[in-house]
Structure 1
Amino acid sequence: MKASPGRTLNALARLIRGHGPRGVALAAWTMLACRRVRHQLAHGGLSAVRLTAPPLGGTDTVVQGALRRSGGNCLESALVRQRWFAGRGVPRTVVIGVSAPAAGFHAHAWLDGDPDPHRHGLAEILRHPIPSAWLR
C-alpha cells in the first residue's frame, strides 16, 4: 500500500526539520540503494551487490526510516546499512540465519552487533563481511 501524498509530504517536512538537506540526501540515497540491491541480488546474488558511497551527514535513524518506507526486506536493508556504515569507516558484517524446517522455515538477515528480536531461534548459516572496496 502506498502512502498518501499528504503523508509523504509530512514525512519529508519532518525529515527536513530534523535533519536538514543532508538528511534528505541520505534518505534519497538509501531508497535508491535499496532498489539497486534488490535488483543486484535478483540478478547475481550477494557477490553482485555494488553500491556507491553514501552522502556525508545524516544518521542511522534516517537510513532505517528510509528503508522502512522503501519496503526493503531484511537482507536488502542489512546490505544498505552495511554500506552506510562503511562510508563512515565502520566495518559491519551481515549475518544470515535460518530456522529449523520442522519449526516452519524462516530466514532473516541482520548486522552483527545489532539487537534484533527476529533472530531468536535462528541458526547462522552465513556471515557476509564488508567488501574491502567499501572501506577505501
Structure 2
Amino acid sequence: MVSATTEGVKVTVSASYQPEFSSPYQKHFVFTYKVKIENNSPFTIQLLTRRWEIHDAGDDFKIVEGEGVIGQQPVIEPGESHEYISGCNLKSGLGKMKGSYTMEKIQDGSQFRVVIPEFQLIAQIYNN
C-alpha cells in the first residue's frame, strides 16, 4: 500500500495479483488495484480526469487517459472520501503504475493535479 498527498488530497493505492483470471503461459497477468481518495482540504472537489502510466517489465509502456474513474466523476466534500476498484493486464508478471487526477475546486472552478503514487504490480506464481 502506498500513499501521497497533494494540496490536502490523499490518494492511497493497494494492488493485488489475480491468479484465477491470469494465464502466465499465455503471457496474460491480471491485477486489480483499490484506490481511496481522501479530501482533507477545506474545499469541495470533483475528480474530472485521470492519467495512468503503466510500465510492464516486458518493455511495454502505455498511457491511459480519460474522464473520471470507472464511469464516475465523484464530488468529494471536505473530510469525505471516495473509493473504487479497477484493474489492468500485463504481458509479464512484473510492472508498475503511477499517475494523476485532475481535480476541480467546486467553489471557484480552479483545477489542480493530484499525484497517484507509484505502486508495484507483482504476480505471485506458485508451483505445486
TM-score, scaled to structure 1: 0.23
Please identify which structure carries the higher helix content: 1
